[in-house]
Amino acid sequence: MGFLQAQNCTNFPASWRHPESRTDFLSADYYAEIGRILEAGKFHLAFFDDRLAMPDRYGNDHVHAVEHGIRCVKLDPLVTLMVMGMATERLGLGATCSTTYYEPFHVARVFGTIDLMTAGRAAWNVVTSLNDGEALNMGRSGVMEHDLRYDRADEFMEVVLGHWDAWEDDALIVDKHTGRFADGNRVHRLDYNGRFFRSRGPFTVPRSAQGHPVIIQAGQSGRGRRFAARWGEVIFSTAHDVPSGKRSYTGLKEEAALAGRDPEHMKICTLVMPVCGESRAQAEDRMALIKQLPLEIDALSLLAEAINFDVASKGLDEPFTREELDSISGLQGIRDRVLAASGKSNPTVRDFVQISGRGTAEGAVVGGPREVADVLEEHFMEGVCDGFVVAATHVPGGYADFVRWVVPELQRRGLYHTDYEGHTLRENLGLPRPAVGASRSTTASSGRG
Ligand SMILES: Cc1cc2nc3c(=O)[nH]c(=O)nc-3n(C[C@H](O)[C@H](O)[C@H](O)COP(=O)(O)O)c2cc1C
């Protein structure tokens, strides 16, 4: 699947500086074109990330982010998703939406509608949001405590899935002769009354061709992974090496089984940023160019945003104190990895920049068709993942190169489908169509009436 951003750059902020990057990221055609490329490459899913703020944690100021184009434009991903949906026929369409800043009824209705408008191709990436900028934009004074965000998100899911179950599949009749529009006994109120949310229903959107949108999740902490194992049907992960990727994969599948789910119904996909070309030499030349694009401020700004800590308050070589490390409320996985990889109990800002690789194309898989396919094949065959989330170094070339050079090689090896298997996203991903009420059987419902 494709990792997309409705913004001025990809998750590699320097992408907009790439000589081949399109600059019309404010136009519908930009997103339509990406969709067409991914569909030509038979991608199952195009997925938009989201953040409800520009990166302004660094120095508590936005000017650097705007000046350097560091993810400072963030369009609404659901609207761009629909543009992409109208330009394609089979491509799955996913967008991120936060459980911390919206009402579950609203989110259920928007995604339910997109699923109908795209004939069963929608997916929702469930995030709890992690930095103060988002909180401040959405009328809060600061980010909510990490585990509490997930407790709240659990209830959010119960409400959303509960509403998606409101209309039984055969509830609609629409018979002009008898005058019966729908079976009133097959449309149900939710009457949810929980610790965080209340929602009555009945929900106003009937079910789609695939039942309801696919749930995507990317929790990485202990609490986040429990949440992912309970709800996630597609999981985004990051694998830093094969052994740790394998451990993470089996651990998450086991956790899904513990939550009463069939682990086969959870597809784990790892992030990969390919830099490819016709040959290894051509790819290496491309990477040499890409390496010249990032600025140090890209890394510092995105690091501050991700860990929700103003690293401008410290010198580059100044160590973090224990209290500062404990106070990191954003991506704690970055902190834990820096502690482990640096071997220091008080790593410096520079250690964070170098080890996290934020803002750079560090870790990109560089090569001709065979070299890139070799890496993907190894990860897949070794049990690191069920699929990949492909990030781009520039748009649309990063995706186009992958489709042109790597997809045919993977197809030759029998590792990649040559066409879509079905019409809905669930059919293409090999996920079952959920029966009405299916989510209730695996969950400890707290607030249902
Ligand atoms: C590939 C990938 C994409 C993600 N996309 C988003 C996003 O768009 N918005 C967001 O707020 N968080 C995003 N996250 C962050 C996750 O939702 C999650 O918060 C993070 O992995 C840390 O896990 P934790 O919440 O359990 O601490 C993403 C994570 C990964 C690995």
Residues 6+ apart with CB under 8 A from 247: none
Question: Quick one: 418 exposed, middle or buried, by C-beta within 10 A (0-12, 13-18, 19+)?
Answer: exposed
For 151, list phi and psi in degrees, rounded to 5: -60, -40
Alpha helices in 2-144 (DSSP H): 28-40, 63-68, 77-86, 104-117, 132-137
Mean pLDDT of all residues in 372-398 = 98
Determine which residue's CA is closest to atom 6 belonging to ligand 1. 49
Q: Could you say which DSSP state residue 420 is in?
A: -
Supply the pLDDT for residue 66.
Answer: 98
Question: Per residue in 195-242, pLDDT tens?
Answer: 999 999 999 999 999 999 999 999 998 999 999 999 999 999 998 899
What are residue 188's DSSP bridge partners? none
CA distance 423 to 90: 6
Supply the pLDDT for residue 403.
Answer: 98
Determine which residue's CA is closest to atom 25 belonging to ligand 1. 219
The answer, yes or no, to whether the previous bond of 213 is cis (omega within 30 of 0) is no
CA distance 216 to 267: 9
Determine which residue's CA is closest to atom 19 belonging to ligand 1. 219
- DSSP letter string, 150-167: HHHHHHHHHHHHHHHTSB
CA distance 292 to 302: 18
Question: Quick one: 374 exposed, middle or buried, by C-beta within 10 A (0-12, 13-18, 19+)?
Answer: middle
CA of 221, closest atom in ligand 1: 26
Instruction: Check pocket membership of 236 for ligand 1, CB cut-off 6 A.
Output: yes
CA distance 424 to 115: 9
Determine which residue's CA is closest to atom 18 belonging to ligand 1. 219
Question: Per residue in 412-436, pLDDT tens?
Answer: 999 999 999 999 999 999 999 999 9
CA 289–ligand 1 middle distance (angstroms): 29
CA distance 78 to 57: 25
Confidence of residue 441 (pLDDT cuts 50, 70, 90): low
Q: Give the CA-trace dihedral at 208, 210, 212, 213, to 10 degrees.
A: -110
Phi-psi label, residue 334: left if phi above 0, alpha if psi -120 to 50, beta otherwise: alpha
CA 81–ligand 1 middle distance (angstroms): 19
Does position 264 have pLDDT exceeding 60, yes or no? yes
Question: Per residue in 316-339, pLDDT tens?
Answer: 999 999 999 999 888 888 999 999
Q: Could you say which DSSP state residue 445 is in?
A: -
CA of 225, closest atom in ligand 1: 26
Determine which residue's CA is closest to atom 8 belonging to ligand 1. 49
Instruction: Check pocket membership of 143 for ligand 1, CB cut-off 6 A.
Output: no
Determine which residue's CA is closest to atom 16 belonging to ligand 1. 218
Instruction: Check pocket membership of 220 for ligand 1, CB cut-off 6 A.
Output: yes
CA distance 298 to 271: 20
Residues 6+ apart with CB under 8 A from 399: 2, 34, 37, 38, 41, 390, 392
Question: Per residue in 40-62, pLDDT tens?
Answer: 999 999 999 999 999 999 999 99
CB count within 10 Å of CB 434 equals 20
Instruction: Check pocket membership of 129 for ligand 1, CB cut-off 6 A.
Output: yes
Confidence of residue 442 (pLDDT cuts 50, 70, 90): low
CA of 50, closest atom in ligand 1: 8
Determine which residue's CA is closest to atom 15 belonging to ligand 1. 218
What are residue 365's DSSP bridge partners? 274
State the chain's mean pLDDT as an integer: 95
What are residue 247's DSSP bridge partners? none
Instruction: Check pocket membership of 339 for ligand 1, CB cut-off 6 A.
Output: no
Amino acid at 209: A
CA distance 359 to 307: 13
Residue 186 Cα distances to 8, 203, 206, angstroms = 46, 12, 11
Its sign, for the CA torsion 390, 98, 168, 263, is positive
Does position 444 have pLDDT exceeding 60, yes or no? no
3-state DSSP call for residue 305? helix
Question: Per residue in 91-139, pLDDT tens?
Answer: 999 999 999 999 999 999 999 999 999 999 999 999 999 888 999 999 9
Confidence of residue 143 (pLDDT cuts 50, 70, 90): confident
3-state DSSP call for residue 402? helix
CA 188–ligand 1 middle distance (angstroms): 33
CA 231–ligand 1 middle distance (angstroms): 15
CA of 228, closest atom in ligand 1: 26
